[in-house]
Amino acid sequence: MEKYQLPTVNINYKGKVDWNAFLKLVYGWLNDKKFVFIERKHKSRTDERELLIDSDRRITGYIRYYISLEIRFINIKPTEIETSEGVKQGFDGHLSLDINGHFVADWQNRWGGHKFIQNLDFFFRKFIIHQDLEHVYEDNLLIMIDNFKREIQKFLGMEVFH
């Protein structure tokens, strides 16, 4: 079992946020991309919100994607947000979001155990599917995380670069 870590994506935003719509966007995106997720931490106080969400998705019997989201919304104050549907209740504060992604080869640990089988797995990863690991699975997960970041930035009204 080998883990391939991707760079962390960070979004910082200071302004008004419709918290419920933001969470709907995050969970909707994870559901649309067929990720199974669990909230590891959910802290809600009058002046801060904090969430830690771990998610994973089976790609093949050999590859599995993992995305972790750490959402911190601090120094929040209740406010009204004007939308196309009218005025909604929301919060004004500082939102920070970290998106960590990685994928694991041999996530079922089928190639573990005996030393000969582990050497076969090493040969398979380094010489047979090396190009696929770097140019297919890693790139697809990077693109997926980047598209997620752009959706969040668009939702928050931030400038999105293509």
* Residues 93, 13: Cα–Cα separation, whole Å: 8
Could you give the 3-state DSSP secondary structure of residue 113? coil
Between 59 and 162, name the one with better pLDDT.
59
Residue-wise pLDDT for 93-119, tens only, equals 999 999 999 998 877 777 777 888 778
DSSP state of 162: -
pLDDT of 85 above 80: no
Does the structure show a pLDDT above 80 at 130? no
Torsion (CA) 125, 130, 136, 138 in degrees, nearest 10: 70
pLDDT greater than 90 at residue 42? no
- The mean pLDDT value for 142-160 works out to 91
Query: What are the φ and ψ backbone dihedral angles of 116, each rounded to 5 degrees?
Result: -65, -45
Residue 44, pLDDT above cutoff 90: no
pLDDT at residue 162, rounded to an integer = 60
What pLDDT shows up at residue 107? 74
In the prediction, which pLDDT does 134 show?
Answer: 78
Using an 8 Å Cβ cutoff, are 73 and 92 in contact?
Answer: no
Quote the CA–CA distance of 122 and 115 in Å, as a whole number: 10
Place of tokens 């640990």: 109
Percent over 70 (pLDDT), the chain: 98
Model pLDDT, residue 88: 84
More confident residue, 22 or 121: 22
Residue 82 predicted with pLDDT over 70: yes
Average pLDDT, the chain: 88
SS3 percent helix, strand, coil of the chain, rounded to 5, is: 35, 45, 20
pLDDT at site 147: 94
Per-residue confidence (pLDDT) for residue 86, from 0 to 100: 80
